[in-house]
Structure formats: structure tokens, C-alpha cells
Amino acid sequence: MLLNQLGSLQQLSRAIMQPLMILPAIAVVLFVGYVLNCFGFVEASTWMQSAAKGLLDTMPYLFAAGVALGMSNNSGVAAMSGLLGIFIFYELVSEVLPTDVVIEPTILIGIVFGMMAGAIHERFHAIKLPEYMQIFGGARLVVLIMIVLSVALSFLFIQIVPGLNNVIQIIGHEIMALGSFGVFLYGVVHRVLIVFGLHHLLNNLVWFHVGSYTDASGSVYTGDMVRFFAGDPTAGGFMAGLFPITMFALPAVAMAIIHESREDLRPKVKKTYLTAAGSSFLTGITEPIEFAFLFAAPYLFIVHALLTGVAMWITFELGILHGFSFSAGAIDYIVNLHLANKGLLLIPIGIAFGLLYYGIFRFAIQKYQIPTPGRVEATLLDDMAGDLLHRVPLIIQALGGKDNLVDVQACITRLRLRVRQEKKIDRHALRMLGAAGVLRLGGGHVQVVFGTYSEFIRDEMVKRLQRDSKQVSFVAPLQGRMIPIEDVPDTIFAKKLVGDGVAFIPDKGELVSPVAGLVRHIYPTMHAIGIETKEGVEVLLHIGIETSGLNGSGFQSIVKEGDEVKPGQLLIKFDMAYIKKRGCSLVTPMVITNSNRIASWSKAPFTIVKKGQTSVLSIVLHEDGHGGE
């Protein structure tokens, strides 16, 4: 039950991310206005500041549309319905309430109408009415229901919003009254919620509802972030302490991971984690580093969460105020420094925390032999850039296939998915494909952390899911290690004269079927078997090299010609010790003998695989079913 609730909350958290995308734009506009003012362009500076103020004033409406988008798989009808709802609310407020009672637009109200619009869309957008009523069906029905319910909800809000606003103000005042302890508590909880992707719910309360500020024109702004950009000299206490962590502490963790990696794996680890450190420093995106030790050493993540709280407590006690529009990285630090108070003090504090983190993590990794990336090869986070598009079919396969995916979304650092059956997800395969972590939140809600490539992966996944192409996926036929076909110690296979594919070095004498298909041929010596899939793909599995000379000794066929087989079904048992003793290589090629039919290939990283489980290959056939030579 709790997991189902977490799944629903993560969907809401993802939806809240949509309107937050405007905040970096507001920060840039304010910075440009500041620079123009410094060079004497006062009128132009005023225009830029007015534009930023206008954007801040529209935030409730943006949340109504953005949350509706996020809750409805980016439906434009839902977004329009969310805007209709909040427009109706404020129209009724101005008509019904006495002139001396004012309800200011709030982001919370925008979120409520966005959630309602998203829920109505998901429930009613596919409903078909009788033919004579169908003009009101589908998208029109969503809009109609939203209008009616918005009127009802607006009258309810008119009764409770003043009291609700008071409650929010009280909560905000209580958090503010806690002083440095409140900031410490926020820092700790914020870090913990990142694990579940729910930190935006907490941020929404603190950034948009804690504290109140009235500017010279009488406009009222609430929330630490909004007040900071509106010019409140007391805002920024809940954001300043995050800069030392994202700009210095977590990059120091990345350096500790690099320095504790094995020498043979260090070049690849260095490339990956220097990139992650740069991303954390510049943009404040920290998940690729945090997930590198979250699952391997959860207690270190607890230490990290506590130290984040300590950093925020220190900055608050020193009166340091700074803010960001996106995340606490160097870009936001520089762009918003003109609005900060004692912002330069964050640099020495950050350096001190960087040294502290580096020492703690190097000591812990050495002392407790924590399997961080590069210490054991199976945990290595591969570089995604080079073959990203080729991995996407394998990622889909590792997620249980096209039919298992209900909803595919992404935020900046992770895929946010809804699947039909969580048990079909291959976590090991996803790790091998570059995922830093996989979180199951219940109710079919799953998050896969791919770092800053997540949005690109999502876009490519959607393209491939919508494309009606013939695709065949393969799992590992053996337990062991996958290697390139070019590394097979046999010229015929290595030069792809039989066909293209991959090969395996087994550590267990069992060959299983990599695909669903029909056993077309079993060699009399039982060292090789041919399978044909329903799409007509011909697969040859050849156990070892020069093993035909054994005349069947050491081999036992479990299936016979004409049998239908499923992925992972046992085909042949073989005696590894006997084959080795006879001087034969155990390298086992898996090739497609009619490779001319293949339009594109997607091969998994060449590493350790589990028979019948690990996704190793995905192919797309030519649309005409034939292809050229």
C-alpha cells in the first residue's frame, strides 16, 4: 500500500517538474537586467526586470498547465483544462468575495487544478458516447467535466482558501521560526527524498510557500525562491547551503571513486566520473554520483544527508543568502551572485566540505571494501555517449519489452516509468547498459537513473515504441562473458563469413535458447544447433571451436529438431572439463546466418552475462522482409 502511494507521489513530483523549467529563464532575464543596469542602460534594465516579474506572476497558471501535462502524459487538452479551471476560480473569486477580501494567486491552487485536470483527462478522454452525443465525447468531454467541476471546486475553495492560506503561512512561519535547525532538517530530508524522486514535493513547500514578501508596488511573493528573485533581502536561507554540496562535496566523492578504482578500469571510470563531477559542479545535477554509492553503501548516503544538513546550518548561521533558479551549480551561483548576501563565503565553505567528503569516502571505500564503480567490473557505469541510440532497444528489452511499458517519462536525471509487471524488469541488464540505479516504487512505478542522458533516452524510446518495425531481441544463451564476434579464435566466425553476431566464453556447461523459435537443425555431433524465429531470423549457436571432431562426446541434446523453444529454455548440456582436456576452445559464437535481412543491430556491452536473463542483442529487420546483399 505504501509503495503504491509512493508511486503516485512520484508521478506528482514528476509533474511538478514541468513548470519549474521556466525558473532558469527568469534567472537569466534578471541577470541580463542587472548587467544592463551596471552599464547604464537603466530603461532596458527596467524592461528586463518587468519581464521577470511578469513571469513570476504567472507561476500559478504555469503550474496548473504543467502539472496537468505531467499527470496526463503531456496531453495538450489536459493542460488547457488546467488553465480553464484556474481562470474560472479567479473569475468567481473576483465576483463572489467582498472587495475587501483578497485571495492572491498561489502555486498550490495551480497544482490542485492541474492535478484535477490530469485525473479527469486520464479517466474520461477515451470514453465514447452514443453517436448522437459523440460531439461531446473524447477531449470535449474532458473540457466539459473540467468546467463543471471547476465551478464546484471554486466555491469550495472560496470557503476554505483563506483558512488554508493561513495554515500554510503558519507552517511557513514555524519552519522559519526553527531557524538554523529548520534549515538543517530541510537539508537532510531533501537529500533523502532525492532517492525516491520526491524532493520536488518538499521543494514546492519551501521554495514557493515559506515566508512572505511585499515589494514596493504592493505585490506579494511567497516562498524562499520566489522571494529571492523578487528582491527580498531576507530570502535564500534554504538554498545557500546546497551550493557547497553540489559544487564541491559531491565532485570530491567522484574523485574519491576514481582514485579508489582498479588501475585497469580507472581510465573508463575517470572519463565517466570526471564528467559527472563537472555536471554536479556546473549544473547541480548530482544523482549520477549519489547513486554510485547509494546502493553499495546506504550508510554513506545517510552520512551525506546529515552533512548536507550541517552545510545548510552553517551557511544559515553565518547569514549567507544565495539562491538558484534550477539547481545549486556554478552557473546559478555566478548568474545570481548579484542578488546574494555574503555569497563569496560559499567558496571556502565548499572547499572545506570537499576535503571532508574526499577523506570520508576514501577511508570508507578502503576500510569496508565498498564496491563503488571501478572496484569490481560489474559495477562499472559505461560511457553512454558513443552508442546511446544503439542501447535503447536493449533498454526497452530490459524493461520487459514494448508491451510492458505503460508510460515513459523523464526528468533531467532519470526515466520515470509505469510498467504492467515490475517482475519483468532486468535490473542487472539495466546496470550493464549504464543505469546508475533502479528504484521500484510500487503500483508499476519505476525510476531508472541514467544521469543527464535520461531525456534523450526517453525521446528515443518513444520513437522506437511508436515505430511499427519488426524487432527481435536476444538473451544470453550461456552463463559467462560476452565478447565481440571478431575475437573468436576462428577465421570463419571472426570475419563473419557465416554471419554477424556475438560470442560467449561460458563458465557453465548449459546452452539455452536466446529467442523464441523453432529448432531447425541439430548437428549429429550436437556441438551446434540452428533456430529460426517466427520472423524468419536464422540463428546458429556453435558450442566451442573445433568441437565437431569430438563426434558428440561430452554433449547431450535436450531438445530435438522441430521443437518449439522459448527464451531461456535448455537446449544442450556439455562437459566443459572434457572439451578443455581435448584441447578445444570453449568460445561459443551466436550468429545470424541470414544477416542480409537485418536493418540495424544493437549489441549490449561486452561483459558478464546471465543465461536466459541478460539482454545481449536486439535487431530490426528490413521493412520489406528481405534486405539487400
Kindly list the catalytic residues.
Answer: 411
φ, ψ dihedrals at 237, nearest 5°:
-70, -25
Output the CA–CA distances (angstroms, integers) from residue 314 to 187, 206, 317, 349, in the order listed.
11, 18, 5, 9
Give the integer Cα–Cα distance in Å for 314 and 183.
10
How far apart are the C-alpha atoms of 296 and 303, rounded to whole Å?
A: 14
Q: Please say whether the beta carbons of 213 and 169 come within 8 A.
A: no
613 C-beta neighbours (distance < 10 Å), count: 17
Calpha distance 514→428 (Å, rounded): 17
Residue at 299: amino acid letter: Y
Distance CA 37, CA 182 (A): 36
Q: Could you tell me how far CA 356 lies from the centroid of its own chain?
A: 29
Query: At 396, which amino acid appears?
Result: I
Packing angle of the helix pair 107-124, 139-177 (nearest 10 deg)? 150
Q: At what angle do helices 298-317 and 287-294 cross, to 10 degrees?
A: 130
Q: What cell was used for 599?
A: 536493418
Helix (H) or strand (E) holding 449: strand 445-449
Per DSSP, helices labelled H in 241-345 are 242-244, 250-259, 266-283, 287-294, 298-317, 330-335
* H or E element that contains 494: helix 491-494
What are the cell numbers at 578?
Answer: 572434457
Distance CA 390, CA 617 (A): 10
Helix crossing, 266-283 with 250-259: angle to 10°? 180
Taking each helix axis as running N to C, give the angle between helix 388-398 and helix 454-466, from 0 to 180 degrees, rounded to the nearest 10.
70
Q: Which of 181-185's residues contact partners 24+ apart within 8 Å by CB, and which partners?
A: 181/313, 183/237, 183/238, 183/241, 183/309, 183/312, 183/313, 183/315, 183/316, 184/309, 184/310, 184/312, 184/313, 185/309
Burial string for 352-365 (b: 16+ CB within 10 Å, else e) reads ebbebbbebbbebb
